[in-house]
Chains A and B, each alone.
Chain A
Amino acid sequence: MKRSFWHRLDLLARHVVPVSLAFALVLLSTVPLRVPLLNLVFPALALVSIYYWTLYRPDLMPPAAAFAIGLADDVLSGAPFGVNALVFVLIHAAVNTQRGFFLGKSFAIVWLGFALLAGAAFTIAWLAVSAFYGLLVNGTGALLQAGTTIGCLPLIWRLLVQCHLRIVGQA
C-alpha cells in the first residue's frame, strides 16, 4: 500500500517525537526554578527519556541520538564537554543489550533496573569528571541528583507512556 505524502509526513513527525522530546527536556532542566537548591538536584529527565525509548522504541532512539542529547546537555549545563554524551551512549548500550530481559516485566522491575543503571550512570559521570579535572570532585550533588531522578521516575514514566501511546504509537 502506497502511503500518501501527508501520511508519511505525519508519521515522520510522530517518529521524531522521542528525540525532540529529549532535547526539550534538556532545555527544560535549565530553566531557573527559583526554589532553593532545586536546580542543583533537578532530576536528569533526559536520562529517563533515553532509558524509556531505548527500551520500548529503540528504532526511534538510535545511539547517535543519545550521544547528541548528551552533548547538548554538556553544552547547556556547563559540565565538562563530552561527559554526558559518554554516559548516555553507555546507558543506551546497556539498555539495548538487556531489552529482552526488561520487556514484559512489571513496572517495579523496570524501576529497579533504572535505579541500577542510574547509579552506574552517575558513578561513570563522577569518575569521568574527576578524571577530567584530575581530582576527586565533590559527588554530593550527583548523589542527590541520582536520588531525585530515581525517585521521580514513576511520575516522568507516566508522561512518557502517555506520549508513547497517544502521539508516537506502537511500532
Chain B
Amino acid sequence: MWNAWKLLATWLTYGVLVLAAGAAMLLGKADAVLVERLRVQVADVVAPILESVSRPVDRAADVVASSRRLVDLVEENSALRQEREHLLQWEAVAQRLEAENAQLRDLLKLVAEPEARFVAARVVADPGGAYAHSLLVNTGRRDGVEKGQIVLTGEGLVGRIAASANRVSRVLLISDLNSRVPVAVGEGRARAILAGDNSVYPRLIHLDPDETIAAGDQVVTSGITDAFPPGLPVGTVVSVQHGDVRVAPFVKQSRVEFVRVVDHRLPALIDDFLAGRTESPILPQLQLPAAANTQLSVSAPAEAQAEGAAALPAVIPLPVPRPGGRIRP
C-alpha cells in the first residue's frame, strides 16, 4: 500500500514538474523581457566564477596560439613587413580621404554622424548550445551598457546587447535565431536583412530577386533602421543557391576574446533635436544649396569649376593629418 502511494507521489511530482516546465516556456513566450532580465541577473551573480574560470582558459589558448606562431615566425615576419608597406600606402590614402571628406562635409553642411562611445569588454561565457548563439561580456549597466547597443571587434559586427545587468551583459550574436540585421550587399549595395538561424552561416532574406548577388560579395550594415549605424563590416557571401544566400561573418564566435560595446547614441541625437539643440537630422538638405554654393565659389578656383566636380578634390588644400587622428569608417 505504502509503495503504491509512493509511486503515485513520484508520478504526481513528474506531472507537476512537466507542467511547470511548460509554464516556464509560456512565460518565456509571453514576457520575453522578464525572462531576459532574469537571465542577466543570474549571469551577474555567477559572473565572478565565470570570469575566474575563463581567464586560465584564455591564457592556455594564448599559450597554444603563441607557440604555434613561434613555429612560422620568420615567414610571418616577412609577410607582415609586406603588409605594412601596403598598409602605409593605404594610410596615406585614408588620411587624404579623411581630410577631403571633412572638407566636403563642411561644404555640404552635412549633419555629422553622432559621436559613438565605446566600452571594451571581455567575453566571460560562450554558452554555445544548439538553440541560442550568445555571449556574456563583463560589462554592464554600471559602465553605461544598455540593451540594443552594438557589439564589435576589429574584424566586424558581433551582435547586439540583448540585456544588461550591473556587471554583465548578454550579447545576441548575428547568427542567433532571433537576430535580424538590415544590411547592404556588394558594390550595388543591394538591401537585405541578415537573419540568423542558429547555424554558423546566417541567411540573407527579403532580398530583391532582381539583384545579382555572388559569392565573395561584402556585406555591411545598411543603417536603414536606428538599430545599427551604416557601414559596419558584417561578412562575405559564401553561397548562393536557389535563393538561399548564406553569409560567413567576419567575426568567428569562438575567436572572440575582447569586444567593443558601442553606444552610437541615436536616441540622444533625437533628444537633442527635440530639445532644439541640433539641426534636423532628417532634413539636412534644406539648408544645403545656398551654403554649398557660397563655399564653393570661395575655395575653388575658376578652372576647377570649369572642369567639374571630378577635379574638385585636387584643389582643396589638405590640412596636415592630426597625429593619432582617427579614420572614420
Give A residues with C-beta under 8 Å from B.
Answer: 27-42, 63-64, 66-67, 70-72, 74-83, 85-86, 89-90, 92-93, 96, 122, 125-126, 128-129, 132-133, 137-142, 144-145
Contact = CB atoms under 8 A, between A and B. Distances in A.
Contacts of B35: 81
Contacts of A137: 131, 177, 197-198
A136 B42 CA distance: 29
Given A37-B200, A39-B253, A92-B14, 20 more contacts: A27-B49, A29-B127, A31-B50, A32-B123, A32-B125, A32-B257, A40-B128, A40-B200, A63-B14, A67-B17, A79-B132, A81-B24, A81-B28, A133-B177, A138-B197, A138-B199, A141-B199, A142-B130, A142-B131, A145-B129
Contact of B46 (A27, A63, A138): A27
Interface string B160-191: 00100000001000001100000000000000
A77 B132 contact: yes
B223 to A, nearest CB: 27
Given A32-B54, A34-B254, A86-B18, A76 B131 contact: no
Nearest to A34: B61
5 contacts: A39-B128, A39-B254, A70-B21, A76-B46, A78-B176
A41 B254 contact: no
Nearest to A85: B21
A85 B57 contact: no
Contacts of B43: 75-76
Nearest to A76: B127
Nearest to B21: A86
A111 to B, nearest CB: 22
Given A27-B46, A36-B255, A77-B129, A86 B25 contact: yes
A37 B42 contact: no
Interface in B1-35: 10, 13-14, 17-18, 20-25, 27-29, 35
B14 A93 contact: yes
A38 B22 contact: no
Q: Among A37, A38, A42, A75, find the residue whose CB has the most chain B CB atoms closer than 10 A.
A: A75
- Looking at B17, B57, B136, B170, the one whose CB has the most chain A CB atoms below 10 A away is B17
A30 B252 contact: no
Given A27-B49, A89-B18, A139-B130, A80 B254 contact: no
Contacts, number: 173
B39 A75 contact: yes
Contact of B129 (A33, A40, A140): A40
B126 A39 contact: yes
Most chain B CB neighbours (cut-off 10 Å) among A38, A79, A82, A126: A82
Nearest to A37: B254
Nearest to B51: A31
Nearest to B178: A133
Contact of A31 (B20, B23, B39, B125): B125
A-B pairs, top 6 by smallest CB distance, nearest first, are A82-B24, A39-B128, A81-B28, A78-B132, A141-B130, A86-B21
A63 to B, nearest CB: 5
B21 to A, nearest CB: 4
A170 B39 CA distance: 36
Contacts of A125: 130-131
A28 B49 CA distance: 10
B259 to A, nearest CB: 12
A30 B125 contact: yes
Contacts of B176: 78
A82 B21 contact: yes
A30 B130 contact: no
A30 B197 contact: no
A35 B255 CA distance: 7
Contacts of A122: 130
B14 A140 contact: no
B222 interface: no
